[in-house]
């Protein structure tokens, strides 16, 4: 197939879209809506994953020690820290350091802590340990609770479990939406091209009788599906990226609760290029699949 023939077939595909403009617009609209919902689910998923990862990197379990803990018990604890593969590091916080940290957090009430240093310091010494992954959280807390010399193990277990549950739900729902909405888009595009095939069935038969190849006949319909997918991808990208940019800008410029989480969002500079690439790839793929599915079932040449 030479370039002039290819150019002609591409124009025929676009001509088909103009002749069936209402169905083409409907196909673009449905696929755009599907990509927008999928994009929102995807951005929510990656941001939740990023937030969980950040929390995981900063996750600290605090092991409070009795004042009368023996050196042997301290050494035994340190040995478990170094031998446990799920612990990335540990820090020892003395009673004096614990008091200084509390005073720094409550500096406006610093006067209340006067006279509580030295022997009158009631705060316990502690070890702060970091984990390799949040999934080992319950296991580590359970292991160190009740060990000799350990008074209490403190952790944000409810927050951790809630975030892990949210992460799993978002991932499952996100992939489910991708599959379901992709199928809907393929059906709509397939039906649109099926109408074009039906309207041009006599012309297609004549083309086949005069020696046109299957590829020559199928290419305009493939161009139509790919064009629908590409147009939907660009529209969906503009909508999703614009909304995401607006959310980040609003959260950065307003003193709302969301501004406290702003730096946990993935910056739009790191999102737009892969978002555009995924939308274009998905749109073109779904459009092409819709065309191929329609032609295999209804284009008898």
pLDDT digits (tens, 9 = 90+) for 256-293: 444 444 445 777 777 888 888 888 988 888 877 777 77
Q: What is the CA radius of gyration of the chain?
A: 31
pLDDT for res 292 = 72
Distance CA 39, CA 178 (A): 9
DSSP 19-66: HTHHHHHHHHHHHHHHHHHHHHHHHHHHHHHHHHHHHHHH-EEEEEE-
The token pair that represents 218 in the structure block: 């199928």
Burial of 260 (0-12, 13-18, 19+ CB in 10 A): exposed
pLDDT for res 261 = 46
Distance CA 130, CA 132 (A): 7
Grouping H, G, I as helix, E, B as strand and the rest as coil, residue 155 is coil
Distance CA 175, CA 170 (A): 9
What is the CA angle 54-62-155, rounded to 5?
A: 65
Let me know: does 295 contact 192? Beta carbons within 8 Å.
no
Counting as low any pLDDT under 50, the low residues of the chain are 255-263
Residue with tokens 């006599």: 202
Domain with CATH 3.30.70.3040 in the chain: 60-155
pLDDT for res 257 = 46
What is the 8-class DSSP label of residue 84?
Answer: -
Residues forming beta bridges with residue 152, ordered by sequence position? 64
Distance CA 202, CA 186 (A): 25
Burial of 278 (0-12, 13-18, 19+ CB in 10 A): middle
Q: pLDDT tens across 179-212, in order?
A: 787 777 777 777 766 776 676 667 667 777 777 6
The token pair that represents 204 in the structure block: 């297609």
Longest CA–CA separation in the chain, Å: 103
Give the class (CATH, top level) of 60-155. Answer: alpha beta
């Amino acid at each position: 197939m030479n370039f002039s023939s290819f150019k002609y077939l591409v124009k025929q595909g676009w001509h088909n879209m103009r002749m069936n403009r209402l169905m083409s617009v409907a196909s673009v609209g449905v696929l755009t809506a599907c990509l927008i919902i999928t994009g929102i689910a995807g951005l929510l998923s990656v941001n939740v994953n990023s937030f969980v990862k950040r929390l995981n990197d900063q996750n600290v379990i605090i092991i409070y020690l009795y004042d009368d803990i023996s050196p042997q018990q301290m050494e035994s604890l340190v040995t478990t820290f170094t031998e446990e593969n799920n612990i990335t590091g540990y820090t020892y916080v003395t009673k004096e350091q614990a008091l200084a940290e509390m005073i720094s957090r409550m500096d406006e009430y610093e006067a209340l802590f006067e006279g509580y240093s030295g022997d009158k310091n009631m705060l316990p010494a502690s070890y702060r340990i970091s984990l390799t992954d949040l999934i080992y959280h319950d296991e580590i807390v359970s292991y160190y609770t009740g060990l000799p010399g350990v008074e209490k193990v403190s952790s944000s277990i409810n927050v951790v479990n809630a975030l892990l549950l949210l992460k799993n739900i978002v991932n499952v729902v996100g992939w489910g939406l991708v599959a379901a909405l992709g199928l809907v888009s393929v059906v709509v595009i397939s039906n649109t091209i099926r109408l074009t095939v039906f309207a041009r069935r006599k012309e297609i038969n004549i083309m086949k009788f005069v020696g046109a190849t299957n590829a020559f006949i199928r290419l305009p319909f493939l161009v139509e599906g790919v064009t629908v997918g590409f147009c939907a991808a660009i529209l969906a990208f503009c909508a999703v990226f614009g909304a995401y940019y607006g959310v980040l800008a609003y959260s950065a410029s307003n003193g709302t609760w969301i501004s406290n989480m702003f730096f946990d969002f993935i910056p739009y500079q790191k999102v737009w290029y892969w978002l555009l690439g995924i939308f274009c790839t998905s749109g073109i793929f779904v459009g092409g699949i819709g065309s191929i599915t329609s032609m295999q079932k209804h284009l008898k040449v």
